[in-house]
Amino acid sequence: MKTIWFHLMPYPELPDDFTSEHRSVWVDIDPGLFDPRVGHRMYNEYIDELEFAASVGFDGVGINEHHSNAYGLMPSPNLIAASLARTCPDAALVVLGDSVALYNPPIRVAEEFAMLDCISGGRLVAGFPVGTPMDTLYAYGNNPATLRERYHEGIELILKAWTADDVFSFNGKYSKLRYVNCWPRPVQQPHPPIWIPGGGSIDTWQWCARAGYSYLYLSYFGYKAALKTMQGFWKCVEDAGRPANPFQAGFAQFFGVADSEAEAIELYREPAEYFFNRCLHVYPGFADPPGYKTLATVRNGAEGMVERAAREASERAVQAAKKAERKAAQQSFSAASHMSFEQMVEKGYVIVGNPDQVAEKTIEMAKQLHIGHVMSLCHFGNMSRDLAMHNTELMATKVLPQIRYLWDDEWDDQWWPSPLPAADRMTPSPRPTVSR
């Protein structure tokens, strides 16, 4: 099993009264809350943490893209990845990823990912998320009715740009390019492994299953709540006639490791409560704009409502269906509001404990969800750099050795980067001394 150290890069100084005085952490958050001096410190500390994680043995470092968002301060993950490509010489660079529909034309993604693959010597994982409604529709103004079509067309263009032998013309609905000619081209041939971060879209499961892409469920709400989603994905893999290779799937999970469970609870309570109770304060009206979900996903939700309704008296059933529909707009993001740390642990949002306990629960999680890639969040909320590094070191030195073995003797990880041999890879060279 592979473990990727994943960073969201949350703003660490949201005020205590944030949830009562502000509508949302995302889209229309007060720009006056951002202090550039904090931003300077924060970005540098967060890059330190990623570099440290790579140095102590994590298989990869992971980053993602958000916009107008105080808990995810990477509008451009490629900028961070470019820095890490030079300073993390062996780890996979898992960019999860570039929201393709937001790049116009999307050939930009092909170019920048190819640059990253060249700089890193073939260590890039190319992630292509649709992107959340907040990022794609509200912050970036994409039209929900055409977002997914634009996204799929963009990926088609990127793949063709990476693999075509000749310059070609691309006459898409959304991108019209007379000359497509991607310079540079990726080290990994025919292209870097493709991972698709997603939520609960049935169409995304089916597409990943058919196309053979790795599916990443980036939930913040723990492995216990993820079972139904992952079962849905694996059913699609089975329906597609493909083997259930766990490396075709991954899951994001918060971790807090300490020498004892009691110490872990003491250490990680504040950053977890900051993240779940403050950073996830998203205005529900942003969560479910019409057109964002595919009709198959809407139908699935509606049928779920009907199934429940069928068990109740007809009048109560209709009321339940209406209530469920209203709640759909608030699902996931309001689920954690004002929850105690004990509840977070109980529900599996955060796996905490001593290294043995964490390893045991992680194995349980991986087996239940049948995943080969763990996106581990060892920094969350307003955690200090020192604590993040302590957590990271314990995870790397005492947990990873206990969980790495999983799946390795049964399955090949076909979704992991294939870099140049270490001897052929460039590393930053010492600067020559210049006499002045």
What residue ranges bind other proteins (CB under 8 A)?
27, 137-138, 141-146, 149, 173-174, 283-286, 288-291, 293, 295, 298-299, 302-303, 305-306, 309-310, 314, 317-318, 321-322, 325-326, 329-330
To other proteins, the closest distance from the beta carbon of 284 in angstroms equals: 6
Name the residue nearer to other proteins (CB basis): 87 or 146: 146
From 152, 196, 200, 191, select the one nearest 174 (Cα to Cα): 152
Orientation of helix 107-120 relative to helix 147-163, angle to 10°: 50
Half-sphere exposure of 372 (CA within 13 A, CB side): 21
Q: How many angstroms separate the Cα of 296 from the Cα of each of 13, 87, 116, 216, 292?
A: 40, 43, 35, 19, 12
Name the residue nearer to other proteins (CB basis): 169 or 314: 314
To other proteins, the closest distance from the beta carbon of 66 in angstroms equals: 17
To other proteins, the closest distance from the beta carbon of 176 in angstroms equals: 12
Name the residue nearer to other proteins (CB basis): 310 or 434: 310
To other proteins, the closest distance from the beta carbon of 22 in angstroms equals: 15
To other proteins, the closest distance from the beta carbon of 104 in angstroms equals: 14
The answer to whether 372 and 249 have CB atoms below 8 angstroms apart is yes
Any residues with CB less than 8 A from the CB of 386 and at least 6 apart, and which?
none
For the chain, the C-alpha Rg in angstroms (whole number) is 22
Name the residue nearer to other proteins (CB basis): 302 or 335: 302
Name the residue nearer to other proteins (CB basis): 223 or 283: 283
Number of H helices, E strands in the chain: 15, 11
Separation of alpha carbons 8 and 18, rounded Å = 19
Fill in the amino acid letter for 124.
Answer: L
To other proteins, the closest distance from the beta carbon of 298 in angstroms equals: 5
Structure token digits, residue 117: 């693959």
Name the residue nearer to other proteins (CB basis): 324 or 420: 324
